[in-house]
Structure 1
Amino acid sequence: MSEFKQSFIASLQRHRDAFATVEQYADQALQLLAAVQDCLAAGGKVVWMGNGGSAADSQHLAAEFMVRYKAERGPLASIALTTDTSILTAHANDYHFDSVFERQVRGIVRPQDVVIGLTTSGKSPNINLALKAANELGAYTVALTGRDGGLVKDIAKLPIIVKSDETARIQEVHMFIGHWLCEALDIAVLAEQGA
């Protein structure tokens, strides 16, 4: 067997190991769904943020809300704080990158909103400061995190901790939860429409 095939099979096994325990997050996923449904029913929005791959995942999930997942439905109010290069670079230049999301949260988040931070380590200062600010504003805060949960597990009202030390596996489970959330919202919206 080639070295590359061995690597592929080993990676697949680590993926299977990570997903073997995904059902343990079901209750937390249902809490997340309820919070998002309450938020949207109250005229709120879902705000996403992350760094690196988690920034891309944040943008991906915000797009699924605003455009569509599978069902034909109207937009679900959502935004990723990772997309405006002028804000990101101006803030990092004029202040500090640690507060780049906190400042945006203080500017746009309202009490009826849900703020979701993706951080595989739970130690990202910019995510943690932003979630603290969102708590102060009365929003519902969620952390999709990994490893031992880091500092964020004590900040977010709903920490969902993927018990893995491998960043890729943590991100894959985060996207599984995010995609399930989109599918559940599709089902709920269609049920409301009587479809």
Structure 2
Amino acid sequence: MNQTASFFAALERHRAVFAAVEQYAEQSQQLLDAVLNCLQAGGKVVWMGNGGSAADSQHLAAEFMVRYKAERGPLASIALTTDTSILTAHANDYHFDTVFSRQVQGLVRPQDVVIGLTTSGKSPNINLALQAANDIGAFTVALTGRDGGLVKDIAKLPIIVNFDETARIQEVHMFIGHWLCEALDLEITA
């Protein structure tokens, strides 16, 4: 297959997954409502993921803290993926499976929203962290894919992108994240 054909094949897979994005509208509205309630109560939005989902978590936390489009104040948000000292010390001294749950136990409060990005729904460190957040009383969200894995039964709001290709799942996660930022801009600057 030449590269042009490969490009169009990838584009067709992108179109296929985005043809079904409408089905996430109600869950995305629930996410917006939870985040608005959180921020109005003085809470923060906490993000986490592994690999590309870690980068997406950092990206979305930055959109909250800095800005998306509108000129507005910072929205309290943090990605648990950014402190290399915590990540490496915990993985070395304890276990990588608990690298996020330890941070959740130390940072999360009941008024917070905790969002885990996991394309498989099977990431032990995400699942344990969301359970820890549930135990604290925070609102938990999973942006996941495939069949939802184990996380669909842990998060209070699982948003499952029913597709098997990691890149396409992540593209939908970022669409939902960017829509959330846009919707918050409209709500906050209205």
* Structure 1 and Structure 2 fold alike (TM over 0.5): yes
| Aligned residue number for residue 157 of structure 2 | 158
Deviation at 1:65, TM superposition (A): 0.0
| Other structure's SS at 1:159 match | strand
1:152-173 CA distances to partner (integer Å, 9 max, x unpaired)?
0000000000010000000000
| Aligned residue number for residue 121 of structure 1 | 120
| Aligned residue number for residue 49 of structure 2 | 50
| Aligned residue number for residue 188 of structure 1 | 187
Deviation at 1:178, TM superposition (A): 0.0
- Rounded Cα–Cα distance in structure 2 between residues aligned with 1:133 and 1:88: 17
Moved over 3 A (4+): none
What are the within-5 Å matches in structure 2 for residues 1-195 of structure 1? 3-191=2-190
Gaps of 5+ in 2: none
Q: Which amino acid aligns with 2:41?
A: A
| Other structure's SS at 2:169 match | helix
Alignment RMSD: 0.5
Deviation at 1:52, TM superposition (A): 0.0
Gaps of 5+ in 1: none
The percent of aligned pairs where both chains have the same amino acid is: 83
Deviation at 1:180, TM superposition (A): 0.0
- Rounded Cα–Cα distance in structure 2 between residues aligned with 1:65 and 1:28: 20
Q: Which amino acid aligns with 2:180?
A: L
Deviation at 1:34, TM superposition (A): 0.1
How many residue pairs are counted as aligned between the two chains? 190
| Other structure's SS at 1:48 match | strand
Deviation at 1:100, TM superposition (A): 0.1
